[in-house]
Amino acid sequence: MPNKCQSILVTEDNDDSRELLVHFLRHQGYLVSSARNGAEALRRLKEMPGPALILLDLMMPVMDGWEFLSQTHGQSHVVVTLSAVHAMDEDHPPISGVSETLSKPLYINELRRVLHTYCQRPPEGAAGL
């Protein structure tokens, strides 16, 4: 069964979290790129094969996740937000264009579920989910 995702973009300002996610995803056999903020993510997205799964932190410097989403509105990427702030609370209404939101800290089983749901499975020969 082919992948729904040709690539994954990890957008996270915390260096340790970003590097851990990138390492895990590459180990699973995915083509992964990363960015420290939304502005960098916009540049990376133009270089990546699509469709892409975007793991997007909401609270970042330079350009936050909400601004990134407004800049990519209408594109055919699947966006899963990562946030310590619940996207459904009073201060942050549901976000248009987001498939779902995962709470931080991120649990590996939740990430595996997202990969299975939106990317089906990694390429042949990659470590299984």
> For 63-106, what is each residue's pLDDT tens digit?
888 899 888 887 888 999 988 765 445 555 567 778 888 888 88
Q: Which domain holds residue 52?
A: 7-119
In a domain, 125, yes or no: no
The reply to whether the predicted model has a pTM over 0.95 is no
In a domain, 126, yes or no: no
Percent of the chain with pLDDT over 90: 36
In a domain, 37, yes or no: yes
In a domain, 101, yes or no: yes
* Contacts by residues 41-49 (CB-CB < 8 Å, ≥ 24 positions apart): 41/9, 41/11, 41/68, 42/68, 42/71, 42/72, 44/9, 45/9, 45/72, 45/77, 48/6, 48/7, 48/9, 49/6, 49/7
* CATH number for 45: 3.40.50.2300
pLDDT in tens, 13-43: 999 999 999 999 999 889 999 999 999 999 9
In a domain, 1, yes or no: no
In a domain, 103, yes or no: yes
